[in-house]
Structure 1
């Protein structure tokens, strides 16, 4: 019951904020024009600031142990494996490339920043957060770089390798992550007033992103995309953690390491995937529907995963 309440406490606020966005659109406080502007703000300013601070707050990288490096290496490889499996499943069946890129992204890219820390904190407390924070170094850049490549490659526009590389390094989320890593490596200390300002700005990112997402939801479209939504939810919430945790256990990860991998693989699709899909002219409606449905269903799947792993005495 405690594990179910954990999932509920993480997901219910998201549901309420999305409902607020839906109602704001219904009573015409926001329209398509204002939502597009808000989406740009989230993507280019608020989400970027949030990612920068998440990386910057990791602190000293010199304390990395061999076990830490093994976990980081595994996280990177398993993300690629899950992405490749999603590509193998969807590539032959989905002819609309704008949908294809969104479906692949929906399977491999989780809401790690929002859900990861909450899951670990509830199971291991504050002492477990360091391991998950370390994963941010690999997981966040990998998620975002792969997303830019996939969305750009399947955009339907003619693209060269050089242009693709430029798109990767022009992406605000990637710039923010690399900037955060640079600050750690160069041991740059941000003055308290500046840090407080950045912290306040970053707090806008997640609620505003979910307000925009809720306002953009079209339930008629959800019925049209139902077969895609069912498959993505199964792959994201069941298939991804099954592969990530199963292989991780075989390799020898246990305890806090498995919980860190659970937080990376079992969380719903990242809200940034919707923001980025809209910005890069992919199927933003489908991306939003994937974020919404995986967020709601994850209440039950996260509870089940925690219960199963606890009963197996793996965590």
Structure 2
């Protein structure tokens, strides 16, 4: 019963926030334009501030684990190569293949990684998630552009890709946070408190916005491909790579950060990118919708099992 309460208390805050966001949209407190603006606010400002706060407040020399960072990055890269080889056995349409590959390996870690880690294991795990962001973002963004361009029939603009990654607000926030953590410059109390207060908003508000972005009207007949993608994203990825991580002896807080990495739903922006780069935008949108809804159940299951086994 204790494991149930751990899992329930870890997942239900996120479920309620997603539900609240969806409620705000259905009751017309938020319209499509407002939701789009709020999503941009989360990505451009709130989440970078959360990341900056988490890293700057941490003694990186004490918590940084190179093997952990390399494992997280290596597991995503390995998953991509495996999916490129495996997905064609299930689907022959290359435009759908690109969407399925991205839908499985690319999680909404930027928006949900820190909040989920905080809910499950507290600030220390959130710090680890913040550290992973600066490595995971370039891998997610770069590989998604390359794969979707190839499968959608577009040429990859390497220079633009590199510049977009370097200009990413989360990357900039991570680098600034590292500098602040290492140098420890004095920060006026009023500024420090203001940053922390905004960070509290940034740890919660993105989940509400995610709920407001759900659109069940886009559901259509992609059941087989959708089922395969969701199973790969929410069950197979966590099962394989969390098992390996536990076998390698990573700490409970590191495992929690990896739960957020592998178990989070597919990134919302993936649907937009799929449409822009010539892949199946409708299937991509459905993957985002259903992975967001079903991840509430699968994350609960993962936390419950690992708590029962005394791993976290």
Report the TM-score, using the length of structure 1 for normalisation. Answer: 0.78
Which residue pairs with 1:198 in the alignment?
195
Gaps of at least 5 residues in structure 2 are: 276-280
Report SS of the residue matched to 1:204: helix
Whether 1:174 and 2:171 are equivalent positions in the alignment is yes
Which residue pairs with 1:61 in the alignment?
60
Report SS of the residue matched to 1:273: coil
Q: Is the 8 A contact 2:107 2:261 kept in 1?
A: no
Which residue pairs with 2:35 in the alignment?
35
Pairwise CA distance, 1:225: 4.8
Which residue pairs with 1:265 in the alignment?
259
Q: Is the 8 A contact 1:56 1:184 kept in 2?
A: yes
Question: Equivalent residues in 2 for 1:116-155 (5 A)?
Answer: 116-121=117-122, 130=124, 133-134=127-128, 136-137=130-131, 139-153=132-146, 154=148
Pairwise CA distance, 1:91: 6.0
Pairwise CA distance, 1:217: 1.6
Pairwise CA distance, 1:43: 1.0
- Measured in 2, the distance between the counterparts of 1:264 and 1:116 equals 9
Q: Is the 8 A contact 1:87 1:104 kept in 2?
A: no
Which residue pairs with 1:81 in the alignment?
78
Which residue pairs with 2:301 in the alignment?
300
Pairwise CA distance, 1:241: 3.2
Closer/same/farther in 2, CA of residues 85 and 45 from structure 1, 3 Å limit: same
- Measured in 2, the distance between the counterparts of 1:108 and 1:37 equals 18
Pairwise CA distance, 1:37: 1.0
- Measured in 2, the distance between the counterparts of 1:199 and 1:26 equals 31
Q: Cα RMSD over matched residues?
A: 3.3
Whether 1:239 and 2:236 are equivalent positions in the alignment is yes
Closer/same/farther in 2, CA of residues 169 and 53 from structure 1, 3 Å limit: same
Pairwise CA distance, 1:52: 1.4
**How many residues of Structure 1 are paired with residues of Structure 2 in the alignment?**
296
Gaps of at least 5 residues in structure 1 are: 122-128
Which residue pairs with 2:227 in the alignment?
230
Pairwise CA distance, 1:181: 1.6
